[in-house]
Structures are given as C-alpha cells and as structure tokens.
Amino acid sequence: MFQNFALATLGMFVFTRQTVPFQSLDRTSNWRHPTNVIVGAMPKTQFTGKESETVTISGRLIPEITGGRFSIKALELMADSGGAFPLIDGATFEIIGFL
C-alpha cells in the first residue's frame, strides 16, 4: 500500500500528492580524470576519484490542494539540522542517496 501513495521519502518526510508532490528528480554524478603532460608522448589521464553528487527535486506546491507551509517548514527544519537523510524512491524502494 505504501508504494501506491509515496513518491519518495526523505528521512521521515514522505513525498505524496497530499504533502509535496514533485514532477522530476534529477541526479548528476561526475568523476575526475586530470590530464598529465608527458614530454615526447601523448598526455595521460588518471582517475582520481568521484566528485560530489547532485540530486535536484523540482515540483510545484499548491497550498489549496497539497501540503502548504507546514510541509515546506518540515523540510527546512531537516535542512537546518545538518543531518544526512536517506532519499528512497517510493516505487522501487531504491536508496537514491543521503541528503
């Protein structure tokens, strides 16, 4: 029954059509491959690690239909706490990351 309602969860906050629905979730990952110049040869690249990952959630909040300022305030308080909260997809239960 959970998967019928939840779009995703962030910690204990559940994104639903009644709280804060979102239209898209984008995830960007980058890796570092700096180039080293070698005299008399082609430049060489070296993998030096993964950069930080960015997760962007966008949507439209309509207080008359969805959760209003209380839903946004809950998310603001979570952000202010500085904690890392798991972001879990409501359809697949995949852990997207910790935000």
Q: How confident is the model at residue 1 (pLDDT cuts 50, 70, 90)?
A: very low
Who's near 1: CB < 8 A, 6+ residues apart? none
Please report where in the chains the tokens 């629905």 appear, as a residue.
21
42-94 tens-digit pLDDT: 999 999 999 988 888 887 777 666 667 787 888 889 989 999 999 888 888 88
Is the pTM for the entire model greater than 0.85?
A: no
As a whole number of Å, the end-to-end CA separation of the chain is 25
CA distance 75 to 51: 25
Chain CA centroid to CA 52, Å: 12
DSSP string, 13-82: EEE-SSS---SEEEEE--EE--EE--TTS--EE---EE---EEEEE----TTTS--HHHHHHHHHHHHHT
